[in-house]
Amino acid sequence: MVFPEYRPRRLRRNEAFRSLIRETRLDASQLIYPLFVMPGKNKRDEIASMPGVFRLSVDQLAKEAKDCLALGVNHLLLFGLPEKKDAMGTGAHARDGIVQRAIKELKNAAPEMMLTTDVCLCEYTDHGHCGCIIGNQVDNDATLEILAKTALSHAEAGADMVAPSDMMDGRVGEIRAALDENNFDQVPIMAYSVKYASAFYGPFREAADCAPKSGDRKAYQMDPANAREALREATLDVDEGADILMVKPAMAYLDIIKSLRDEFDLPIAAYHVSGEYAMIKAAAANGWIDEERVMAESLLAIKRAGADIIITYYAKDMARRLKG
């Protein structure tokens, strides 16, 4: 079909036609909202580089969860800021740790809210790395046991799903085994399978107080230059028992989302990370872009690239917009 017989504009004539042929749609039920939980009472600290995102004390969580549910957002991703940090990140698997307390509070207040936990050590180690340090490097195999313990402690507290973000080799299998041995075979793993060593995490590290005190994360997170390696990482996680594969960050890695979509039949998640959110906020604050439209277009692009699930600080705003 060629012009003038075929005229693409025919089906763009009005919103009813545009909507009729729309290929991609966002749905609040596929958005996950990250929450930062901090110690103390009555705390609602706005994160300077992430306007509209707060660190909340445990007593503030119930209200937040109810607000999300009212908008149709029924999945949360929990991050914890512990009271104390140490070399081995033991706060990550403490029975009365910050995330474990948050889960109990949320399950009490809003049992229908689905809770996924970030499984990582960087918020809990005094050195800020995602694993324990032996000699002068982040020791992969010694970290696995701590991660498995952490995931298990989250499941015991009532978490519905765990999401390891540490990028140690073999952690998905280790976590799966620990969950299965303890009768948590129904708790899925959403693996941060393809997580790049990205500068887009900057604002998050302020929010979660987890920047490495020395060095960087390049010895465990992936090189942004690599696309084929993403498939190898994802293949390992599939073989180790991952239920959902995640790509992170999102906007600068749409090609990676697309190639995982084409290669694998598991659900794909994408994390629209802190720096992506902060950039839109900053430009909007200057009056340079239309925040709502840029938000919606960004999330739509992530979905169009092949993500089923989007983790985003915009989950509530997007859900509000979808409600109309």
Nearer to ligand PBG, 105 or 118 (CB): 118
301 close to 318: Cβ distance less than 8 angstroms: no
Among residues 66, 149, 248, 316, the one annotated as catalytic is: 248
CB of 315 to ligand PBG, least distance (A): 12
Nearer to ligand PBG, 22 or 213 (CB): 213
195 counts as catalytic: yes
CB of 165 to ligand PBG, least distance (A): 4
Nearer to ligand PBG, 71 or 147 (CB): 147
The runs of H, that is alpha helices, within the chain are 15-20, 61-71, 98-109, 140-157, 171-181, 202-208, 228-240, 254-263, 274-285, 291-305, 315-323
CB of 218 to ligand PBG, least distance (A): 11
Q: Residues of 152-178 as b/e, b for ≥16 C-beta within 10 angstroms?
A: bbbbebebbbbbbbbbbeebbbbbbeb
SS3 state at 269: strand
Q: How far is the CA of 114 from the CAs of 1, 68, 247, 262, 298, in angstroms?
A: 48, 11, 21, 28, 25
Nearer to ligand PBG, 150 or 274 (CB): 274
Which residues, in sequence order, are CB contacts of 124 under 8 Å at separation 6+? 80, 82, 85, 86, 89, 90, 91, 92
Q: What is the contact surface with ligand PBG in residues (CB under 6 A)?
A: 118, 120, 122, 130, 165, 201, 204-205, 217, 273-274
| CA distance between the termini of the chain | 37
CB of 300 to ligand PBG, least distance (A): 19
Tally of CB atoms within 10 A around 292: 15
Residue 149 phi/psi, 5-degree rounding, is -60, -40
Residue 93's identity, in one-letter code, is H
Among residues 85, 104, 195, 323, the one annotated as catalytic is: 195
Nearer to ligand PBG, 110 or 195 (CB): 195
The catalytic residues are 195, 248
